[in-house]
Amino acid sequence: MAEGDDGNDDSVRTLVYRPDRTALKRARETRERVIARLSEHFAADTLEVDEFERRVTLAHTKDSPEAIEALLADLPALGGGVQAVAPGPTVVPSLVPADEDRQSMFAVFGGVQRGGTWTVPRKLRVTAAMGGVQLDLREARFPPGGVDIHVRAVFGGIDIIVPPGLAVQMHGSAIMGGFAQVDRSPASPDPEAPMVRVHGVAIMGGVDVRMMLPGESERGAARRQQRELRDERHGQRRLPPGPEADK
């Protein structure tokens, strides 16, 4: 009889899977480096916004360093004079004091903005009732592990801006409104890497998440999107006629 087996058929042995911390660290370091490089290509206009977000999402969701590294394989070398908006998507860790473990934000018939350097609590409750809330997390400091943001938008809107290097999960419901569904996180999350989980509901309102480079302004992001839309339309006008045109 094996040690610890008392002969009772009702006993159940549970095997708990614990990911290799060395492998998690290697994947995290590769992910941070690759996302930083993707951000440089995006700032240099060698990646359009849709392709940039697609590759960043893959970098977050893949666990193999080789698969993450492959996201750079087909990209051209950047010239020495090319500089990104920021050297890389930095997510700054921070120890959250006990008295800042939970916070709440309310916007009722008005607007609330939070940005710049600030410490994100482990649990943040955000409510927008006939008002708007904007959370800019690009320069925020995070505790290690997961951060939970509970949102409720009633006839209002909640806009969350994240840097490319921040893992994000969004799961919520919308009633005559909109709630962005985003899953940009590894299958085996690193317990030491920050991650934001957004839960909640939008009732005749909206909850959205946007990816922006650190240091990129709202006006700069709008100009970039307009330029990409203009280039896309220009490319469509220059497409050769299809086979139907010859009939």
Question: What pLDDT score does 44 carry?
Answer: 82
Judge if 38 and 145 occupy the same domain: no
Read off the pLDDT of each residue in 104-116 and give the average, rounded to a whole number: 91
Same domain for 153 and 186:
yes
Judged against a pLDDT cut of 50, whether residue 244 lies above it is answered with: no
Phi, psi of 224 (to 5 degrees): -60, -45
pLDDT category of residue 97 using cuts at 50, 70 and 90: low
Range of the domain at 83: 21-89
| Mean pLDDT, rounded, of the chain | 78
Asked if 80 and 102 sit in the same domain, the reply is no
Residue 180 belongs to some domain of the structure: yes
**25 and 122 both lie in a single domain:** no
CA distances from 38 to 17, 125, 128, 170, 217 (A): 32, 32, 34, 23, 19
**100 with 78, same domain?**
no
Based on the domain organization, do 214 and 97 belong to the same domain? yes
DSSP sequence for 81-114: T---SSSS---EE-PPPGGGSEEEEEEESSEEEE
Q: When comparing pLDDT for 47 and 228, which is higher?
A: 47
Token pair 């899953």: residue? 183
pLDDT band for position 233 (cuts 50, 70, 90): low
Is 43 found in the same domain as 30? yes
- Give how far the C-alpha of residue 134 lies from the chain's centroid of Cα atoms, to the nearest Å: 15
Q: What percent of the chain has pLDDT over 70?
A: 71
122 and 214 belong to one structural domain: yes
For residues 78 and 101, state if they share a domain: no
Better pLDDT: 203 or 99: 203
* pLDDT for residue 234 is more than 80: no
In a domain, 235, yes or no: no
d(CA 225, CA 69): 27
Calpha distance 34→28 (Å, rounded): 10
Asked, for residue 6, whether it belongs to a domain, the answer is no
Query: Would the pTM of this model clear 0.85, i.e. be above it?
Result: no
The token pair at 80 is: 């020495």
Among residues 89, 104, 138, the one where a domain terminates is 89
Query: What is the domain count for the chain?
Result: 2
Whether 41 and 112 share a structural domain = no
Helix (H/G/I), strand (E/B), else coil: 210: strand
- pLDDT for res 32: 86
- The answer to whether position 14 is within a domain reads no
Question: Looking at the domain assignment, is residue 242 inside a domain?
Answer: no
Residues 18-76 pLDDT 10s: 566 787 888 888 888 898 888 888 888 888 888 888 898 898 888 888 999 999 989 88
